[in-house]
Amino acid sequence: MNEHESLDVIGKPYPKKDARIKVTGECRFAGDISVPGMLHGKMLRSPHAHARILNMDTGKAEKLKGVRAVITGKDFPGILYGNFAHTRDYLPLAIDRVRYIGEEVAAVAAEDEDTAWEALDLIDVDYEPLPAVFDPEEAMKEGAPLLYDDKP
């Protein structure tokens, strides 16, 4: 066998063993599972590409009936993660600043999904939008806004 013979499947159809149960609705997905006492989690995400978090008030969400927990990045400062041990520099939830649209700023655990969504709506976040760059060429120019002060 030469080195390219193993690639002869690329671009060709192949039988999917689970196709029938997926198209007939018989397949169970993670979202189909429910166990007694299970909580439903939802994340509040930033609407800004780059902004300072001036204040976050989770009080109303915490008091909502059925909410078991509301957490923010300030609940576990110093915890970092990453794909590799030497690059553990991501925060699980933003602290003080968001750096992309959709960055997670808070998390809610509630007794049902509707309550979790409602709790997210009750979290009040005050943002100060900061300059953002949406073009890689512009981002490399002298004086372009930095997302990380220690990583030019």
The residue ranking higher by pLDDT, 35 or 91, is 35
CA distance 59 to 45: 18
Mean pLDDT of 86-102: 88
Q: How large a percentage of the chain has pLDDT more than 70?
A: 94
CA distance 126 to 105: 12
The residue ranking higher by pLDDT, 84 or 104, is 104
CB environment 65-76: b (16+ within 10 A), e (fewer): eebeebebbeee
Indicate whether 3 pLDDT > 90: no
Closest CA to 107 of 131, 137, 76, 81: 76
For residue 5, the model assigns a pLDDT of 66
Domains present along the chain, CATH in parentheses: 36-133 (3.90.1170.50)
pTM of the model: 0.79
Mean pLDDT of 83-107: 88
CA distance 71 to 143: 35
Q: How many residues does the chain have?
A: 152
